[in-house]
DNA sequence: AAGAAAGTGAAAACGATTATCAGTATCGAC
DNA sequence: GTCGATACTGATAATCGTTTTCACTTTCTT
């Protein structure tokens, strides 16, 4: 975790940017997260400890973290971006629970291989992809899945 | 195509809503599209013929078309929604060209089967999914793919 | 034809994100 | 350490796509 902070600071230095107190606090807060955070969410986390940091600075720092290769930005169709650590983990996709919103990561070599096939067949040269599965997680299935078929779940 | 218009009007009637001139024009324009349209795009198509229709009404009518089961709304991560016919076509996914923006549809039973497996393994009960592949289409590959490795393509 | 109820468009409101700008902090040079 | 160029900050305003509000108009049932 201090590794990453150091990497970030090295990146800033390399790019001729400054290592400010705000950036450090925001980066720390980001590296301390375990799941996906929105800018707003990170803002709240930081704000709790240090009320003087503005949401704008959080956005700017998240952009820097992306530039530094330490964060990935994800769009899950709900209109706001979520950020996750880029670090060591390799490519993965996501399963999102339509009830509790929990996001689970997974990777499947087979799926990716098939994608490659399909894409090649259509003459495309693939650059990246985005696979999102939506459904009820185990907990939510157990809690709500007893009654008669519930189809309208609220997430379009 | 008149089928669909009829279906839409029947839906409106069933729901106690009114079949207005604007709705008919917008629905016609929508059914006349062959690819994915944005609200703005549909607005422009309609506006060309009938300047009195507001963008707001287009949004409202698109929502009705969704409610009627005649349109699907898609989010491709660029911040705006694209709409496609829901009609006969069954489930499919999309390949988006990162250069020209062209959207190609495809379906793969194998990929979906694998998805099911993965999801089940993780205790999820799948409801729907979203798979988007991004890359250069044949035309754009041919046009631009000659030089040295180009990695920064502009679509984050 | 009449009226209740829904529909319309303009403009304002929205939520997430980005740009502007005046004041502030950082950091390399000395 | 101090100085100063330069980047950074935060408040506010602007943007963009979309939705709400509201006064007025249309539809549709009787």
User: Average model confidence (pLDDT) for chain B?
Assistant: 85
Phi, psi of A110 (to 5 degrees): -65, -45
Give B88-121 pLDDT, tens digit per residue: 567 889 999 888 888 898 888 888 898 888 888 8
Average pLDDT for runs of 10 along chain B of length 156: 88 96 96 92 82 91 96 90 82 88 87 88 88 90 55 30
A155: CB partners within 8 A, 6+ apart: A98, A134
Closest-approach residue (CA) in chain B for A76? B77
Residue A34 CA distance to nucleotide D9 C1' (Å): 28
**Residues in chain A closer than 8 A to B115 (CB atoms):** 111, 131, 133
What value, to the nearest 5°, has the Cα angle with vertex B39 and ends B34 and B42?
A: 50
Closest-approach residue (CA) in chain A for B97? A124
Residue B133 CA distance to nucleotide C11 C1' (Å): 39
Give A78-130 pLDDT, tens digit per residue: 889 999 998 656 788 999 988 888 899 888 888 889 888 888 888 898 888 99
| Residue A52 per-residue DSSP state | T
Residue B30 DSSP SS3:
helix
User: Average model confidence (pLDDT) for chain A?
Assistant: 85
Which pair of structure tokens corresponds to residue A146?
Answer: 């007893």
Facing residues of A93 across strands?
A: A106
All structural domains of chain A with their residue ranges: 2-85, 93-144
**CATH dotted code for B2-85:** 1.10.10.10
Please name the member of A77, A106, A135 whose beta carbon is closest to the beta carbon of B126.
Answer: A135
- CATH architecture assigned to A93-144: 2-Layer Sandwich (3.30)
Taking alpha carbons only, the member of A114, A120, A31, A122 closest to residue A68 is A31
Residue A80 CA distance to nucleotide D16 C1' (Å): 13
Facing residues of B106 across strands?
A: B93
- What proportion of chain A, given as a percentage, has pLDDT over 90? 49
| Residue given tokens 């090295």 in the structure block | A10
Query: CB–CB of A124 and B145 under 8 A?
Result: no
């Amino acid at each position: 975790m201090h590794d990453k902070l150091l990497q970030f600071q090295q990146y800033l230095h390399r790019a001729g940017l400054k290592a400010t107190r705000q950036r450090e606090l925001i980066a720390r807060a980001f590296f301390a997260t375990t799941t996906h955070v929105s800018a707003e969410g990170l803002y709240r986390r930081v704000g709790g400890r240090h009320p003087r940091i503005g949401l704008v600075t959080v956005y700017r720092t998240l952009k820097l973290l992306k530039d530094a290769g330490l964060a990935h930005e994800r769009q899950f169709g709900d209109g706001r971006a979520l950020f996750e650590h880029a670090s060591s983990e390799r490519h993965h996709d996501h399963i999102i629970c339509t009830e509790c919103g929990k996001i689970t990561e997974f990777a499947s070599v087979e799926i990716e291989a098939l994608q490659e096939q399909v894409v090649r067949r259509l003459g495309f040269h693939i650059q990246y992809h985005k696979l999102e599965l939506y459904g009820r997680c185990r907990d939510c299935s157990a809690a709500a899945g007893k009654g008669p078929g519930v189809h309208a779940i609220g997430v379009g």
